[in-house]
Structure 1
Amino acid sequence: MVERKLLVLFGSQTGTAQDTAERIGREAKRRHFQCRVEALDSYDVANLINELLVIFVCATTGQGDPPDNMKMFWRFLFRKNLPPGSLCQLDYAVLGLGDSSYPKFNFVAKKLHKRLLQLGGNPLLPVALGDDQHDLGPDAVVDPWLLALWDKILALYPLPPGLEIISPDVRPPPKYTLHYLAEDSPYPNGGLLQPIAPRAVPSELHPFAARVVSNQRVTAESHFQDVRLIEFDVTGSGIMFSAGDVVMIQPQNCPEDVQQFCQLLRLDPDRRFVLKPTEPDASLPALLPQPCTIRHLVTHYLDISCVPRRSFFELLSYFSTNELEREKLQEFSSAQGQEELYSYCNRPRRTTLETLWDFPHTTCAIPPEYLLDLIPRIRPRAFSIASSMLAHPDRIQILVAVVRYKTQLSKPRRGLCSTWLASLNPEQGDFRVPLWVKKGGMKFPADPDTPVIMIGPGTGVAPFRAAIQERVAQGRRGNCLFFGCRQKSKDFYCQAEWEELVTKGFLTLFTAFSRDQEEKVYVQHRIQENQRLVWELLNSRNAHIYLAG
C-alpha cells in the first residue's frame, strides 16, 4: 500500500497564503492523509528529492518578489547546478495568490511551477492564480481548483478500504491542547522578552527590547494626519544598518481590547497555562513563552484587531450553541456566502474582536485551546529607517503616520502598530518596543561622486532622510530631494533640518505643497519644471534616482 503522505509548503507575507495552506491541510486530514503544513524556509529543501506529493501555496510581494519566509528556498531552487531530473518522482501542484493590479501578477507561482517542471516534477494541475481583485477574492479561483485537485490526488492515492472522507460537520482537532497550571505550580514565569545572548543579532525570534527615547508629533495639531518621529535606543543590541534598511516592529494589542476579549470569552487573564502539540512531530509557537498567561497570549500574540478570514467563520461555526448564529457563520464560510462576508467584514474593516461581539452565544462557548487555530498571530510591521548611524549612533528613528480612518462602522478604524507606537510617551514611563532590522531594497551608490535624486512625498521621505544624513556625514554633496505634502505650515516634516542642509550646500530641495494654492501641485510638477537639472544629473553625472511613498 502506498504511504498516503502529503506535504503543504507555503510562502506567505501577510498570512493569506498560510491560511490557505492550513485549509488544504485540514481538507487533507479529512481525506485521511498524513499531512504536514510548513513555511518554505522552515523546510529542509534538500529533502524535496524524496517527496512524492507536495502542494505549494505562495504569494507574490512587491515587484514580483517571493515572500520573506521562502527566500532561502527560492535561492536554492534556482541554483544552476541542480540536475534536470532531480524531482522526477514528485507529483506537485502550485497555488498562487496575487493581485492583478500589479504588472507581475502571481509571478512567483508561475516561475515556481515552471522551475519544478524543469527539474522533472509532474504537475497534477495547471498553476492556479488567485486574484485579490476578483469580487470574491482569491477563493473564486481557489475553491474550484481545490475540488479538481482532490479528484486527481484521490485517483492516485485512493482512500484506504473501509474509510470515507470525514464529513465537514465533524469539528477538526485543535493544533495544541492547553493545560492550565495550578496557582502554586512550580513553573517559573515566562517573561515577555527573554534577554538574548549579547552575541546574538536581534531577529524575529529574538527581538531587541528597545527603549523609546522620544516620540514627537511632526505635523501641526490642527492637521488631520498625526505623523510621529519616534526614536529608539538600541545601545548594546549589536544592530547595524545603513540607509535604505528597514526596522521590523512587533506590535501589541491595547489593554482595553485585551480586557474586552477576556470578558467576552470568560477568560481569567492571569491564568497560566502550557501548550502541548496535538500531533507528535508538530512544534510549539516559537514566539510564546512556556508557561504563558492568557493576558500575554492575547496582548502579544493573537491578532484580535485583524479582519477575520473565511476560515475563522468556518471554525467558529463548530462551537455555536445558537442556531441563528450557527447558520450565519456557516453562510459566511460557504462559497455562496462570500459576497455577504465581504460586505460584513472586508468593506467596513470589521475586526475579529468586533465580530466576536456580534456572535455572543458562540463566543462564550469557544474552547481556549482553539484560540490559536481561530486567530492568527500578530505580524511584525516594517518601517523604513529614517536616520543614519553615522549621525545618530545607537539610535533608530522612524516616521510613522498614525492610521485612522472612517468606514460605515461608528467607531473609527485604527492601525494596530501606529496607534500603539503613538501612545508610548517616554516622559510617562520606560517603554520598550521589540524590534530587529532587515536589509532594505534600496542601495545607495558607493561612489562618493555619484549624485542621488530622491523623490519622497509624505512619509515616503523616511529612507531619504537616512540617506541624506549618511551622505552628509561622509561629506558627500550632490543630494537632490523632491518632497511633497499638503501644506507648508502643517505637514512639512523636518523643515528646519532640510533648510539648514540647503544653507550649508549639502542639499538641493524642491517642495510641492499641493493645497497651498488653488491649482494642486505635486512632486511630478516640480520634476517637470526642473527637467534640465534632472537630465543634466542623469546624463552627465550618472545620478541614481530613487522613489518612495
Structure 2
Amino acid sequence: MSGPVLLVLYGSQTGTAQDTAHRVARQAQRRRLKVRVMPLDRYDPAQLISEVLVVFVCSTTGQGDPPDNMKTFWRFLFRKSVPAGALNRLDCAVLGLGDSSYPKFNFVAKKLHKRLEQLGGTMLVPVGLADDQHDLGPDAVIDPWLSLFWEKVLVLNPSLADVVPLREDEPLPPSFTFHFLDAETKRTTDPARVPSDRTAPSESCPFPARMLSNRRVTHPSHFQDVRLIEFDISGSGIEFAAGDIVMIRPHNAAADVRLFCQLLRLDPESSFTLKPTGNAAVPAGLPEPCTVHHLVERYLDIAAVPRRSFFELLSTFATDERERDKLMEFSSAAGQEELHGYCNRPRRTALEVLTDFPQTTSELGVDHLLDLFPEIQPRSFSIASSLKTHPDRLQILVAVVRYQTKLYKPRRGLCSSWLASLDPQQGLVLISWILGLK
C-alpha cells in the first residue's frame, strides 16, 4: 500500500457510528491505503500531534453529550492547557451521526469540528451532519460527504491517482483469522469469573450479578408482560441512586444460536483463538480461547436489523448471480428504499437474511464473521430500587417487547425477551455493569 496512513476514530453509543467508521476504513482499504480504526477512548489523544490524516465519526447522546466511549478523549481535547497550534500538521474531517428531531442535533460533531480548527487542524471538508430523519436516512449525507473527502485526499496525495483500487465485488482481507484448537490444547475459561481484586464495574470489567427473582407484575390477561427482576450485587462495590442506569448485555436466543451454527456448518463446541491480520485488537469481550457457542450466543449481533454495510460485505461472497444482484442492490445508494422495505420496516434480522440468501451464506467463511456482524450492544434500564431499602440488591422493571410486522414470526426485543426467559433457580449468571450514573 502507498499514500498516507488513515486513522479512523469513532465515538459510538449504539453501534451506528462504529459501523460507519468501519465503512470508511473499508473504503480506504479498497484504495490500498493503510488504515487503523478504533474507539476514541482507546486512543491516546496525546499522539494526535504525530498523526497525518484522521477521520472522526461520532454520535450525540442525551442533551448534547458525547458517547461513553468518547468521554475521556473529549475531556482531554477541551483542556485549556492544550496549545492553539498543537494540531497544525493534521489533516482531518468530522462526520456526525444524529437525529434532527432532537434540539442538539449533531452537537458533538459540530463542537469537535470547531475545536480541531482551534487547535490548528486542517479540516478537509465541512463537518458532515447525517440525519436519521432524512427520507433516505443518514446515507443521504454520508455518501456525498465520503466522495468529497476522498477527492480532497487525492488532491493532497496525487500519487494515489495511479493506484488501482480493489473491485467492489472483491472481498477484503478479514480483520481476524480463526485458529481452531484440538482437544488436547483447549483450556477452560470462565468468562463470568469474578476477579479477586474487584474494581468498579465498567464495560471492560463487568460484574457477574446473580439473579434472585424474576416476577411478572402485570396480570396474565394484560397485553404487556412487565417483569420485576432483582439481582444480588454483593461484593460489587456498586453504588447508585434510584433512577440511575444499569447496562445489561443480552444473549442471543438458544434457537437462533443453533440455526446460525447449522447455516454456517459450525460446531458450537469447537474452540478457537483469534489472530489479528492488522492493527486491530482482539475484542475484549471474548475469552481466549473462545468457543463458537460463546461467540454466537454472547457476542455476534445476529438478531439485529442489519445495516447497509452488512449487505455490501455479504455481496462479495455471492457466487449465485440472482443473490449477488439483490445484495448489491441493497448495498447501493439507489437501493436504499428497497432495503428499507425488505429489512427496516418489517424488522428482519441478520439471521433471517442469511436464511433468505442460502447460496451466499454457504460461501461465507468463518474468518469474516467479526467483520460482518457487530458486537451485541448493552441495553440500558433505569434502576427501580434503593440501596437504603434493599442493601446489596438491584431491581429493574422490564417491559417485554413483542410486536407483529408483515413477517409471520412475531418480533421480540432481544434483551427483554432474554431477561424474561431466565430462571433464577437454574443458577444463571447475568453480566451487568453501571454506566452513566447521574
Q: TM-score, normalised by structure 1?
A: 0.78
Report what 1:231 is aligned to: 230
Report what 2:152 is aligned to: 152
Report what 2:92 is aligned to: 92
Matched, 1:361 2:359: yes
Q: Is the 8 A contact 2:154 2:161 kept in 1?
A: no
Q: CA 1:283–1:300 in structure 2 vs 1: closer, same or farther (change >3 Å)?
A: same
The structure whose RCO (Cα within 8 Å, separation 6+) is larger is 2
The 5 Å alignment of 1:370-449 reads 370-427=368-425, 429-441=426-438
Matched, 1:319 2:317: yes
Q: CA deviation at 1:189?
A: 2.0
Q: Is the 8 A contact 1:198 1:236 kept in 2?
A: no
From 334, 338, 346, the equivalent of 1:348 is 346
Distance 2:373 2:56 in 1: 23
Task: Name the larger-Rg structure.
Answer: 1
Report what 2:220 is aligned to: 221
Letter in 2 for 1:233: D
Q: Is the 8 A contact 1:246 1:382 kept in 2?
A: yes
Q: CA deviation at 1:41?
A: 0.7
Q: Is the 8 A contact 1:198 1:237 kept in 2?
A: no
Q: Is the 8 A contact 2:3 2:160 kept in 1?
A: no
The 5 Å alignment of 1:273-352 reads 273-279=272-278, 281-352=279-350
**Aligned-CA RMSD value:** 1.4
Q: Is the 8 A contact 1:201 1:238 kept in 2?
A: yes
Q: Is the 8 A contact 1:320 1:365 kept in 2?
A: yes
Q: CA deviation at 1:268?
A: 1.2
Letter in 1 for 2:231: F
Letter in 1 for 2:80: K
Q: Is the 8 A contact 2:231 2:394 kept in 1?
A: yes
Q: CA deviation at 1:160?
A: 5.3
- Secondary structure at the aligned position of 1:337 is classed as helix
Report what 1:268 is aligned to: 267
Report what 1:49 is aligned to: 49
The 5 Å alignment of 1:478-489 reads none
Report what 1:33 is aligned to: 33
Letter in 1 for 2:215: Q
Report what 1:176 is aligned to: 176
Q: CA deviation at 1:161?
A: 8.3
Distance 2:82 2:273 in 1: 43
Structure 1 unaligned residues grouped into runs of 5+:
442-549
Q: Is the 8 A contact 1:32 1:159 kept in 2?
A: no
Report what 1:203 is aligned to: 202
Distance 1:78 1:175 in 2: 33
The 5 Å alignment of 1:57-136 reads 57-136=57-136
Structure 2 unaligned residues grouped into runs of 5+:
none
Q: CA 1:307–1:55 in structure 2 vs 1: closer, same or farther (change >3 Å)?
A: same
Q: Is the 8 A contact 1:97 1:129 kept in 2?
A: yes
Q: CA deviation at 1:162?
A: 5.5
- Secondary structure at the aligned position of 1:356 is classed as helix
Q: Is the 8 A contact 2:3 2:159 kept in 1?
A: no
Q: CA deviation at 1:318?
A: 1.4
Q: Is the 8 A contact 1:243 1:387 kept in 2?
A: yes
Q: CA deviation at 1:121?
A: 1.2
Q: CA deviation at 1:166?
A: 2.1
Distance 2:385 2:162 in 1: 66
Distance 1:43 1:208 in 2: 25
Report what 1:23 is aligned to: 23
Q: Over residues 12-60 of structure 1, what are the superposed CA-to-partner deviations in whole Å (9 max), with x where a residue is unaligned?
A: 1111111111111111122222211111111000111221211111111
Q: CA deviation at 1:388?
A: 0.9
- Secondary structure at the aligned position of 1:336 is classed as helix
Q: Is the 8 A contact 2:193 2:208 kept in 1?
A: no
Q: Is the 8 A contact 1:265 1:366 kept in 2?
A: yes
Q: Over residues 350-386 of structure 1, what are the superposed CA-to-partner deviations in whole Å (9 max), with x where a residue is unaligned?
A: 1111111100111122101111110111111111111
Distance 1:250 1:164 in 2: 42
Distance 2:88 2:383 in 1: 45
Q: TM-score, normalised by structure 2?
A: 0.97
Q: CA 1:400–1:161 in structure 2 vs 1: closer, same or farther (change >3 Å)?
A: closer
- Secondary structure at the aligned position of 2:389 is classed as coil
Q: CA deviation at 1:440?
A: 2.7
Q: Over residues 469-520 of structure 1, what are the superposed CA-to-partner deviations in whole Å (9 max), with x where a residue is unaligned?
A: xxxxxxxxxxxxxxxxxxxxxxxxxxxxxxxxxxxxxxxxxxxxxxxxxxxx
Distance 2:86 2:373 in 1: 39
| Aligned sequence identity (%) | 63
Distance 1:165 1:242 in 2: 54
Q: Over residues 67-118 of structure 1, what are the superposed CA-to-partner deviations in whole Å (9 max), with x where a residue is unaligned?
A: 1110111111111222111111111111110001111111111111111111
Letter in 2 for 1:420: W
